[in-house]
Every structure is written in C-alpha cells, then in structure tokens.
Chains A and B, each alone.
Chain A
Amino acid sequence: GESVGLHLPTLSVQEGDNSIINCAYSNSASDYFIWYKQESGKGPQFIIDIRSNMDKRQGQRVTVLLNKTVKHLSLQIAATQPGDSAVYFCAGTSMEYGNKLVFGAGTILRVKS
C-alpha cells in the first residue's frame, strides 16, 4: 500500500568526501541551534551546537555555519566515513520557549564505500 509520511531528503556521498547538510528555520527569534545524528533504533545523538551570536563553530570533523539573515544552518562533515550514515536533524529554540526544541524534518546521509 501507499506509504504516508515525511519525505526526507537523501544525501549520498562517497567515503572520504565532505558532506554538507542544510537546514532552514522559520522563527527569527531562534537563538540556539543543535545538530543531532540519529541511527536506526537509537535516540538522537548530540553532534554540535551554536548560539546566534556566532556564525561558525567547529568540532572534530564537523563544522556548523549559521546565516541569520536567511535563517539557514548547515552542517559540514569532513572526510565522511561509513559510520556517519544516519539521519541528521537540526533543532532550534529561543529564550521565550525555554528548552522546547523545534526540529527540522531531517536528512538521510548515505555513505558509499
């Protein structure tokens, strides 16, 4: 039968290449953003976060870029590995909403060996 649900975009990359996952947000009051990775059967795992007073933040093999003007967030993964295959979510919150995270739909990352 027909499957109904969110249609997640898929990004397929070759092992060793860099990956860029994008996210748009709608609430201009959002001031704190987090990227999560979710593997099948597991809960979301924290990757990196950024506050709105920053444009860029780097972690180990990952970089998050924030463009507040166009309300856009991206996650860059360097030298992508098979273990990076997962669904990636961006989430944001604002002071008025406390710890309520609003999640994007997610992006499926597939790494080809």
Chain B
Amino acid sequence: KAGVTQTPRYLIKTRGQQVTLSCSPISGHRSVSWYQQTPGQGLQFLFEYFSETQRNKGNFPGRFSGRQFSNSRSEMNVSTLELGDSALYLCASSGTLQETQYFGPGTRLLVL
C-alpha cells in the first residue's frame, strides 16, 4: 500500500503570494489532517477533514484554508503569504476517529 504523498516537496514564494499544497492519503483513509512544523513552534495542528467536511480547526488565521475532495485527497491554501509562514507543512491520514495517523514527507515552503 502506498503511503501518504504530498506535492510539491519544495516551494519558494514571495510575500503576498498565495500557495496551494496537495496531499493524497493512504488508500482507504478518509481523514486527512494538516500540521505546520517550525523550529520555533514545533508541530502545530492546522485542520482536519473527514468525508469532505472540516471536522476540526487549529488556531491559525483565516489565511489558512483547506478542502477535501470526494476521493479523500486534500489541499490546503495559504493566501497573502508572510515570512513567518515559512515552514514544513505535513499531512497525515487515518481511517477514522482516533486511529493511527500516518504522515507524508511534507512540503517545505520558503517565503522570501
């Protein structure tokens, strides 16, 4: 079974731009969660989608949004990028509630 895949792996943007990151979960998994990892804040929860519905949301500004498609693939979008948005963005998938979450390799975003 293929693992969680994320595209692109690396991205460089400038302040004010927007970015869309993609995540394909493990086949059969319906829950997709997104996390931001930075040296200063560690791993922080962004949001979780299950069956195309946002089920939970972390404490991030409205510039961070996401969605999930009928095939469980998920995208997250960050608008009006700020320097502080530079981070590793990780996606994790699981079958359902409180099952093991498996992470993808992440997308490393650098905002200049």
Main secondary structure of the interface of B (DSSP, over half): strand
A21 to chain B, nearest CB (A): 16
Number of A interface residues in the complex (CB < 8 A): 27
Interface positions of B (Cβ within 8 A of A): 4, 31, 33, 35, 38-45, 48, 50, 55-56, 58, 90, 92, 94, 97-98, 100-106
The verdict on A98 contacting B56 (CB below 8 Å), with A42-B105, A43-B104, A45-B103 known, is yes
Residues of B within 8 A of A36 (CB): 103
* Complexed CA–CA distance, A106 and B33 (Å): 20
Interface positions of A (Cβ within 8 A of B): 4-6, 31-32, 34, 36, 42-46, 49, 89, 91, 93, 95, 97-106
What are 30 A-B contacts defined by CB distance under 8 Å?
A5-B38, A5-B39, A6-B39, A6-B42, A34-B101, A42-B105, A43-B4, A43-B104, A44-B90, A45-B103, A46-B101, A46-B103, A89-B43, A95-B98, A98-B48, A98-B97, A98-B98, A99-B31, A99-B56, A99-B94, A99-B101, A100-B45, A100-B48, A100-B56, A101-B35, A101-B45, A102-B45, A103-B35, A103-B43, A106-B42
**Nearest neighbor of B44 in chain A, beta-carbon distance:** A103
Q: Do the beta carbons of B41 and A43 come within 8 Å of each other?
A: no
B22 to chain A, nearest CB (A): 15
Residues of A within 8 A of B100 (CB): 34, 46, 49
